Structure 1
Amino acid sequence: MAMGMITGVTSRWERAAHQYAQSQQRSSDRTAFYASLTKGVRYLLQSAVLAVGAYLVIRGKSPAV
Structure 2
Amino acid sequence: MAICNIITILIGRYAIQVRGLGPSVPISSLEGFGLPELLATTSLGHIIGAGVIIGLNSIGAIS
Q: Whose radius of gyration is greater, 1 or 2? A: 1
The TM-score range, normalised by the shorter chain, is: 0.3 to 0.5
| Structure with higher helix content | 1
TM-score after normalising by structure 2: 0.45
TM-score after normalising by structure 1: 0.43
Structure with the bigger RCO (C-alpha within 8 Å, sep 6+) is: 2
